[in-house]
Amino acid sequence: METPNRAYKAHVLVLPYPAQGHINPMLQFSKRLVSRGVKATLANSVYISKSMHKDPISTIDIDTFSDGHDVGGYDSAESPEAYLTKLRDVGSQTLASLIEKFDGLGRPVDALIYDGFLPWALDVANEFGILGVVFFTQTCAVNSIYYHVHEGLLSLPLSPDSTILLPGLPPLEPCETPSSVYTYGLYPSFIDLVNQFCNVDKADWVLFSTFYVLEEEVVDWMSKLWRVRTIGPTLPSMYLDQQLKDDTDYGINLFKPHSTVCMNWLNAKPSGSVVYVSFGSMAEVEPEQMEEIAWGLNQSNYNFLWVVRATEEAKLPNNFINDTAEKGLVVTWSPQLEVLAHESIGCFVTHCGFNSILEALSLGVPMVGVPYWSDQATNAKFMEDVWGIGIRAKMDDKGIVRREVLEACMKEMIEGEKKNEVKMNAMKWKKLAKEAVGDGGSSDKNIDEFVAELA
C-alpha cells in the first residue's frame, strides 16, 4: 500500500451521511487519524459544502461529492425516499469520480471510510480495490437491533406486549426499539436502516463512535461477527484527553452558532441554575409538544437556554421569547459543547441523539430524555436504565410530554432525590470516556491498530 516519497502514511477518504450528527463523529475520527500521520479528506455534499460554517484552521481537507441536490439539499427532494435513491445513484458516480480525481492528482485513496447509512459506498471501494471501512454513528446496541431484523432473527411487526431479548442487551419493550422497528409498516421510514447490514460482512473494518466499556457486552457479541472496533467518544480532544492541541471544536456547523450571545448569557448565571434544551439538527417537534416545553420551562424555577432552529421558531407561543427574556434565552443554534461544559448548566433536556448523549456523558451533565424518532428511544433507555445518567420524561397517550412532567423531571435532576446518584454515575462515565481515548485507552489502541494496517 505504501507509495514512495509521500509525506503521509496513507490517504483515507471519509464519507459521512450529509447531516450534522454524522459529520461530527466522522470528522473527529479523521482528526485522530491525521494526528497519527494519515492524510484524511472528508467528502461533504456540494449543498452542505456551500452552506456550512467551517473552522478555517482545520487539519482535515474537505472535498465534495454530489448527492443530486446541489442547490436545495435534502429539503429540495420530493420525499425522503426520493432523496435517498438519488443520493445512492448520483452519489456512487460522483464518489467514484472523486476517487479518480485523487488518482489523477497523484494522491490515490487507500481506504474509503463510509457512513453505515450509505452501504452502496462499499461497492465503490471494491470497484477501486481499496479498503472499505464502515463507520456507524449510532450505538452498537441500536445496530444490533437493526442487524437482527435484517437477518430475520427479530420478526416485525413487534407484538405490543412482547419483550425483546437480544444478546448483550437489556430486555427491551417494543417502544424502546428504534422508531423504524417499533413503527414498522406504519410510515414510510426515513431511511431503511435495516438495510445497512446488506453487505457489512464484506467491509474490511466495522467502526463505532461508541467506546468499549459503554457497550461492552454487545461489542463483544458483535466482534464475533465482524472486525469491530470502538473508537469513541468522538468529541474534540480538548474536552477529553487533550492530546490534540487546539482541537476545541468539531469545526463544521451546518447552522451558524450564536456563541458569544450564549456564553455571555451563561457567564452571568449561577452554577447549576440553567436547563439547556436542544433537539439536535433534524427533529421537527409537534407544535403541541413545543408549547408544552415552552410553558414547562416558563413555569419552572430555572433559567433556560433553548435551541429552536429557525425552521421551528414559528411553533413557539406568541411573544414567548420577550415574555420570558428575564430567565430564558432562545437561539437558533448553540456551541453545544461549550454550553454543556459550562458550570451554570444544571441539566440537559435532550432528544437523545447519540452525539448529544456522548457529549453530555463525557462532560458529566445529567439528562432529561425526550426522544423523538430514529434511535433516540433506545438511546434514552440506555441513558436512564443502563448508564444511569438521567431520566426519561413520560409521554401521555398522544405521545406528548406535558409541562408538569417536564418540570418535575428537570427538578428531579437539579435538586431531587435522584440527583446525587445520577451525578455520581455521570462523573464515573466522564472519567471512563476520557480514559478510552487517552493514551493507551481502548479507543486509542484501536485507532493505532487501524492506522498500522493502513500504513
d(CA 362, CA 428): 9
**Which strands sit side by side in the sheet containing 274-278, from one edge to the other?**
328-331, 303-307, 274-278, 345-350, 367-369, 390-392
Nearer to ligand UDP, 43 or 357 (CB): 357
Q: Shortest Cβ distance from residue 99 to ligand UDP (Å)? A: 27
Q: Is the peptide bond preceding residue 233 cis, with omega within 30 degrees of 0?
A: yes
Q: Shortest Cβ distance from residue 283 to ligand UDP (Å)? A: 6
Nearer to ligand UDP, 109 or 352 (CB): 352
Residue pointed to by grid coordinates 456512487: 92
Collapsing DSSP states into helix, strand and coil, what is residue 188?
Answer: coil
d(CA 322, CA 371): 28
Grid coordinates given for 95: 464518489
d(CA 346, CA 441): 29
Nearer to ligand UDP, 281 or 300 (CB): 281
Of 11, 22, 342, 351, the active-site residue reads 22
d(CA 452, CA 134): 17
Cβ neighbours around 349 below 10 Å, total: 25
d(CA 42, CA 62): 5
Cα-Cα-Cα-Cα dihedral sign, residues 118, 123, 128, 132: positive
Q: Tell me, what amino acid is at 225?
A: L
Nearer to ligand UDP, 94 or 177 (CB): 177
Q: Shortest Cβ distance from residue 118 to ligand UDP (Å)? A: 15
Q: Shortest Cβ distance from residue 186 to ligand UDP (Å)? A: 21
Known catalytic membership, residue 115: yes
Nearer to ligand UDP, 250 or 320 (CB): 250
Q: Shortest Cβ distance from residue 258 to ligand UDP (Å)? A: 9
Grid coordinates given for 277: 434544551
d(CA 131, CA 204): 6
What does the binding site for ligand UDP look like in residue numbers (CB under 6 A)?
A: 20-21, 24, 278, 280-283, 307, 333-334, 336-337, 353-356, 359
Q: Shortest Cβ distance from residue 260 to ligand UDP (Å)? A: 14
Q: Shortest Cβ distance from residue 379 to ligand UDP (Å)? A: 9
Torsion of Cα atoms, 43 then 116 then 371 then 310, to 10°: 20
Collapsing DSSP states into helix, strand and coil, what is residue 126?
Answer: helix
Nearer to ligand UDP, 12 or 285 (CB): 285
Q: Shortest Cβ distance from residue 207 to ligand UDP (Å)? A: 16
Of 67, 110, 115, 241, the active-site residue reads 115
Instruction: Give phi and psi for 134, each to the nearest 5.
Output: -90, 140
d(CA 294, CA 317): 7
d(CA 418, CA 357): 19
d(CA 265, CA 344): 10
Nearer to ligand UDP, 278 or 303 (CB): 278
Nearer to ligand UDP, 24 or 58 (CB): 24
Nearest CA to 437 among 141, 13, 28? 28
d(CA 316, CA 294): 7
H helices of 269-343, in order, are 287-299, 320-323, 336-340
Nearest CA to 115 among 1, 218, 200, 10? 200
Nearer to ligand UDP, 91 or 236 (CB): 236
Q: Shortest Cβ distance from residue 317 to ligand UDP (Å)? A: 20
Burial of 70 by CB count in 10 Å (0-12 exposed, 13-18 middle, 19+ buried)? Answer: middle
Query: What are the residue numbers of the active site?
Result: 22, 115
